Amino acid sequence: MADLTVSLGRLQLKNPVMPASGCFGYGEEYASFYDLSVLGAIVVKGTTVNPWPGNAPQRIVETPAGMLNAIGLQNPGVPAAKIKIRRLARYNSPVIVNVSGHSVEEYKEVISVLEEESTVAAYEINVSCPNVKAGGMAFGTKPEIVFKLVTALRPLTEKTLIVKLSPNVTDITEIATAAESAGADALSLINTLVGMAIDIEKRRPVLANITGGLSGPAVKPVALRMVWQVTDVVNIPVIGMGGISSAEDAIEFMLAGATAVAIGAANFVNPTVCPEVVAGIEAYLHKYNFSSVREIVGLAKRADNT
């Protein structure tokens, strides 16, 4: 059996597969399909200091090879989320909490509330959040703002700090480098791409929010390209995501340089996709005689890879 273990900073994972934030709730719904201990990690919904009600409906629409969502980071707030997170202690998988906020202070507060929780192994900082002080522009669109945010959060925790990047930027490598130099242990990419759909009968946008985030197979080539580019310029591990719905997709991301992968929208289509991807990666390693999954990370970049 091949060695499936990977590490993200100090965090050791038994395999490189995890659900993507916001597509797995707090794991409750999926626990009836399989034992969540098979996951490399469990990533929970974006968590804020106070409850966020999210956007008005309609908030989701299917698109060719994907979906648009404008959930608006609805969540119960960190005190209520903490109770749900504690229930995940029964599984033998580290829990990664996705953190959101409107200001640096709000991000800081979520981390301080969760710092004493032994169930929380790592934070994934979602920088695709509207920055109130910067007029609602997302934190993740400017390298200097990402640098400032990560610099403020780094001293608050010794747990693994992952920064989740937005693809809605001109050059994702600049943002990646800013997060790394501010002390991030790992990067996640990509979050959703801004898009929209119009109802031609009603002659208005389908989503009440007008725009939403595109995810699913449609975004995979863009995500893969960004993982390739980012892993060329940083020395910290990358969790690749965006359109992964099979082991073959996950392997592409690892060959492009991702150390681990996350699966989002595909969970809605196939609730057992995550364990299937773990098994498929293992079968691939066996087929090509790799002894460790780490051997395939970035292999497509090497000329002598056969």
Ligand X SMILES: Cc1cc2nc3c(=O)[nH]c(=O)nc-3n(C[C@H](O)[C@H](O)[C@H](O)COP(=O)(O)O)c2cc1C
In the annotation, is 274 catalytic?
Answer: no
How far apart are the C-alpha atoms of 17 and 13, rounded to whole Å?
Answer: 9
Q: Determine, following the binding rule CB under 6 A, whether residue 164 of this chain makes contact with ligand X.
A: yes
The kind and range of the H/E element at 262 are strand 260-263
Tokens in use for 27? 């794991």
Q: Determine, following the binding rule CB under 6 A, whether residue 226 of this chain makes contact with ligand X.
A: no
Choose between 26 and 147: whose C-beta lies nearer to ligand X: 26
- Return all residues near 155 (Cβ < 8 A) that are at least 6 apart: none
Q: Determine, following the binding rule CB under 6 A, whether residue 194 of this chain makes contact with ligand X.
A: no
C-alpha torsion angle, residues 254, 193, 220, 181 (rounded to 10): -20
Q: Measuring CA to CA, which residue among 150, 145, 196, 148 is closest to residue 169?
A: 145
Q: Determine, following the binding rule CB under 6 A, whether residue 264 of this chain makes contact with ligand X.
A: yes
Lookup result for tokens 């994702």 = 172
Window contacting ligand X (CB under 6 A); options: 130-138, 154-162, 242-250, 269-277: 242-250
> Which residue's CB comes closest to ligand X?
22
Contact 154, 161 (CB under 8 A): yes
Q: Determine, following the binding rule CB under 6 A, whether residue 142 of this chain makes contact with ligand X.
A: no
Which residues between 50 and 109 bind ligand X (CB under 6 A)? 69, 71, 73, 98
Which residue in 127, 129, 186, 266 is the catalytic one?
129
Pick the binder of ligand X from 153, 175, 219, 250 (CB under 6 A).
219
HSE-CB at 89 with a 13 A cutoff on CA atoms is 9
How far apart are the C-alpha atoms of 206 and 270, rounded to whole Å?
Answer: 25
Q: Determine, following the binding rule CB under 6 A, whether residue 222 of this chain makes contact with ligand X.
A: no
Q: Determine, following the binding rule CB under 6 A, whether residue 208 of this chain makes contact with ligand X.
A: no
Give the active site residues.
Answer: 129
Interface with ligand X by CB under 6 A: which residues? 20-23, 45-46, 69, 71, 73, 98, 126, 164, 191-192, 215-216, 219, 241-244, 263-266
